[in-house]
Amino acid sequence: MAKVLHHTVLYFFFLILGFPLFYFVYKYGDPEPLAHDFFQYYRLYFNWDIGNVNAPFNMRLAGASLVHLFYELGFSYDTVIVFDKYASWGFLKSVFFCAVFFNYLCVAATCLQLYITIKKHVGGFLISLFGGVLYLLGFGTVFYELMPLTDAFSVLLFAIGFHLYLNKSYWVMAPIMVLIFQREYLLMALGLMAFMDLIKNREKRFYFTMLIAATISFLIYYVLRKTVFYTPALDHQASTGFLMDTFMQFKLPDFDFIKQTAMTMNLFFIYLAVVFYKRFKGLETDKYNLLIVFLIFLQLTIICLAAGHGNNMGRYFYLIVPYVIFQLIKEVKALAVFSA
């Protein structure tokens, strides 16, 4: 009971700390330049019109269903906001509010989940709290997670899944199954982590099960996208022929790609800076998990370039930022910066 109360207080702490960001996004956020996909998700948020939403957006149903529930319950806050300019096109401000508000709740929950994970596996109240605050201050949190997209709930599911993964709990299968209808890439990231741990560790059973579960879940997603949820628009992104042709015509990323990616990765650069500092001082670092971070980065780079996602690389990398923050906190903890 004491632990539940402790976590409840912390959750409200993160809600209060993140409220200015939430209100700023609701008041001044414009989905057109940063979150254009919102206009696809709007049909799900508003009236669950799956038939008029393009794939893969029409499969991001888990979080969208909760936003739709918020709308049906009448959640809204009426004030003058930038989004008002879309009213003449038939877009309701209340739907926009429900999406941003739901993401705000998810962001605070992810902060709490990071605190719980770090507290258990690294230790220390202050440094665990610091981990949650870091996520709140990350570039992607205000520009992507709090915007009316589906990223915030995806990151929350990944944070929960990563916690269960570290605990070697088979309950991790629950978020994996939900990810089929939320964010397919995270199945690939978890599969990569399980594959690497399968090679490294002697106890194979859990990691083998994880790898199989992530692979099967992704295959289920792929089959559903090609059948039940099929739409011709953007289908090339799930075409092996298109992906192979694009990969064979590989070109080095241009400056805009590099610039846009770098701008979104402040937490990743802090992590690298801490690792390089420790190496410079002759201190031990976790080379294995650094390798995994780079492999995920490489995996995403290949996917983004092959599928034509362009400058969204930084946004997609932010989906696994709880893993980066966890590794960063482990490295900082070894420096004895926090003693509590």
When computed from its CA atoms, the radius of gyration of the chain, rounded to whole angstroms, is 20
The reported pLDDT for the residue numbered 264 is 77
Write the burial class of residue 3 (CB in 10 Å: 0-12 exposed, 13-18 middle, 19+ buried).
Answer: exposed
Sole residue written with tokens 């926090």: 338
Query: DSSP states of 149-183 as a string?
Result: SSHHHHHHHHHHHHHHHHTT-GGGHHHHHHHTTT-
The answer to whether the CB of 152 falls within 8 A of the CB of 182 is no
Q: How many residues does the chain have?
A: 340
Please report which helix (H) or strand (E) contains residue 103, including its range: helix 93-121
pLDDT, tens only, 68-111: 999 999 999 999 999 999 999 999 999 999 999 999 999 999 99
Q: Model confidence at 255, in pLDDT bands (50, 70, 90)?
A: low
Q: Do 61 and 181 touch, CB atoms closer than 8 A?
A: yes
Residue 287 has pLDDT above 90, yes or no: yes
Q: What is the pTM of this model?
A: 0.94
- Checking if the pLDDT of 339 tops 60, the result is no
pLDDT at 254 over 90: no
Separation between Cα atoms, residue 293 and residue 317, nearest integer Å: 10
